[in-house]
Amino acid sequence: MSNSKLDHLLLLIQSLSKSEKRNFKLYANRIKKNKNAKFIKLFEIMSKMNFYQEKKILENTFIRKIQLSNMKAHLYKQILSSIRLQQHTIKNSDIQIHEFLDFAKILYNKGLYIQSLKFLKKAKIIAIWNESNTILLELVEFEKMIESQHITRSICSKSVELSLESKELIERVQCNNALSSLSLELYGLYLKVGYVRNEKDKIFIETYFRTNLPKFDISKLSFYEKLFLYQAQVWYHSIRQDFIMCYRSSCKWVELFQNHVRTKKIAPVSYLKGYHYLLNTLFYLNHYSKFINVLEKFEKEVQNGGIILNGNTRILIFMYKYTNRINKHYMEGTFSEGVKNILPSLFKDLNQISTFLDSHYIMVLYYKIACLYFGSGDNQNTIRYLLKIMENKEKNLRKDLQCFARLLHLISCYESGLDENMDRKIQSAYKFFIQMDDLYIVQKKIIHFFKNLGSFYPHQMKEQFQKLRDKLIKYSDHPYEKRTFLYLDIISWLNSKIENKSIEMIIKEKFSKNHS
């Protein structure tokens, strides 16, 4: 049986707001004969489903199994048409531009060239205002074609003006495409492997960035060109673990939107991402006061309706709100408080939105939840959420998280006393690191430590924890080895074993000392 994740129609219906559902029914029933139509009955049945049930559909409608596929495709198109009309009523700029372009083409085909040019002019005004250069180039090229083929009583200089406009737009679109492609490709690399692991990775990413970064004059770049540039810089510096430079670029990213307030409504997803990477960088820099200040601004803006709400932004607000709230508890060492105050509402919201989350977001969230449980001393739940990551079938997605989930899993199993199959678990983790080409000095030392644990007497354990800590501290500022400490606060755990305190107490004391 199909489930909701595999059924695109059910996913679309579940994404509809109450007003969108109501407007669809009005749209579908605008034609009298549609009132008893099969596709409307199908919509009513599927609106009440939490997961796809073909048997229920066939039993409660007059649709035969052979008709169902076509009926679902018809309903899918009808819903999209209804939403398109609603989007037009709230003046979606992209839809307006395409509508005016369609009108211009209809009038052109009827030989009404002057009227066609008037609609092109309207479309160009909106495109220029929104810096939609790709569609603007299409409008200019169509205008050039009309002017070159027909007498439109335009002034003589019009052809020269259009040629210059077209040339400038082509250069702008090329620069825009180069920067957006660079941003996207760097983001893809970040999702795949995370941070640089060695000198080879570093040389590759630096060469790739220099080679693909187009020449530009920052003062002449448009809003979107600057946005793609800052995004590319954030991914680049993140991958290289240069968090100072990452902070600067993410600041520019957020400030760009704050200096162009109207763009928050045009590209809210990019604005949210900028906020998140600014917060993420401050978390890695352990700059608590700035982190709290930015987090408060972010949550206030969301609460006050400063960010437009739609399917995409709701998902990102959910992810970024909870991820950064959890990060706040990491920094403070208040893990138990986080488990008590954050996780109940997180699980409730996750239940409603999980269908729309992709594997990357889910994996990040599970790792955050696991670390929160680990810090609070709840090893059973830590293991539970780490296993969700370890059982993920997409081995090429977030290899870094999948690797470090296995390290934390070993520690949690040891802490919880579930060490009867420890040798097999150690071997499995070791093989996975080899398979992912991610076995470096720090990981080797941690795995080697667990492998030899059985040979130590209880009275020797404290000394062994001290030895491991002393070995690992040397690598906490290493250009490549330090990335392990970004995923896992292994030093605080070792200190907790040495000082016979909870890891929560160790991090709280460290926080108090740094922020007294």
Distance in angstroms (rounded) separating the CA atoms of residues 249 and 274: 9
Does the pLDDT value for residue 2 go beyond 50?
no
Q: Coil, strand or helix: which one is 398?
A: coil
* pLDDT digit string, tens, across residues 54-101: 888 888 888 888 989 999 999 999 998 888 777 654 556 778 888 899
Distance in angstroms (rounded) separating the CA atoms of residues 385 and 373: 9
Confidence of residue 152 (pLDDT cuts 50, 70, 90): low
Distance in angstroms (rounded) separating the CA atoms of residues 126 and 123: 5
Residue 360 contacts residue 398 (beta carbons within 8 Å)? yes
Distance in angstroms (rounded) separating the CA atoms of residues 119 and 99: 9
Which is higher by pLDDT, 5 or 430?
Answer: 430
Assign residue 194 a region: left if phi > 0, alpha if psi is -120 to 50, beta otherwise? left
Distance in angstroms (rounded) separating the CA atoms of residues 342 and 369: 10
Could you identify the residue written with the tokens 């669809």? 24
Angle at 322 between CA 320 and CA 325, to 5 degrees: 105
What's the predicted TM-score (pTM) here?
0.78
Residue 431 contacts residue 393 (beta carbons within 8 Å)? no
Could you identify the residue written with the tokens 């969230």? 365
Query: pLDDT value at position 4?
Result: 41
- Counts of helices then strands in the chain (DSSP H, E): 27, 0
Query: pLDDT value at position 155?
Result: 53
> Which residues 6+ apart lie within 8 Å of 273 measured at CB?
231, 316
> Which residues 6+ apart lie within 8 Å of 74 measured at CB?
39
Length of the chain: 516
For 415-439, the three-class secondary structure string (H helix, E strand, C coil) is: HHCCCCCHHHHHHHHHHHHHHCCCC
Distances (CA, A) of 112 to 99, 103, 109: 17, 11, 7
Domain parsing of the chain, residue ranges: 8-89, 93-154, 158-241
Distance in angstroms (rounded) separating the CA atoms of residues 370 and 289: 25
Give me the amino acid identity at 178.
A
Distance in angstroms (rounded) separating the CA atoms of residues 301 and 293: 12
Angle at 75 between CA 69 and CA 78, to 5 degrees: 145
Distance in angstroms (rounded) separating the CA atoms of residues 101 and 137: 12
Kindly report the backbone phi and psi dihedral angles of residue 2, in degrees, each rounded to the nearest multiple of 5, phi listed first.
-70, 155
Query: pLDDT value at position 5?
Result: 44
Distance in angstroms (rounded) separating the CA atoms of residues 103 and 87: 18
* pLDDT digit string, tens, across residues 400-454: 788 889 999 999 999 988 777 888 999 998 898 888 877 788 889 999 998 888 7
Highest-confidence segment of 129-138, 198-207, 240-249: 240-249
The pair of three-digit structure tokens given for residue 380, joined into one six-digit string: 């059973």
136: exposed, middle or buried (Cβ count in 10 Å: 0-12, 13-18, 19+): buried
Assign residue 489 a region: left if phi > 0, alpha if psi is -120 to 50, beta otherwise? beta
Confidence of residue 141 (pLDDT cuts 50, 70, 90): confident
Averaged pLDDT, 8-17: 88
Residue 274: CB atoms within 10 A of its CB come to 25
For helices 268-284 and 288-303, the axis angle rounded to 10 degrees is 160
Give me the amino acid identity at 104.
A
Confidence of residue 245 (pLDDT cuts 50, 70, 90): very high
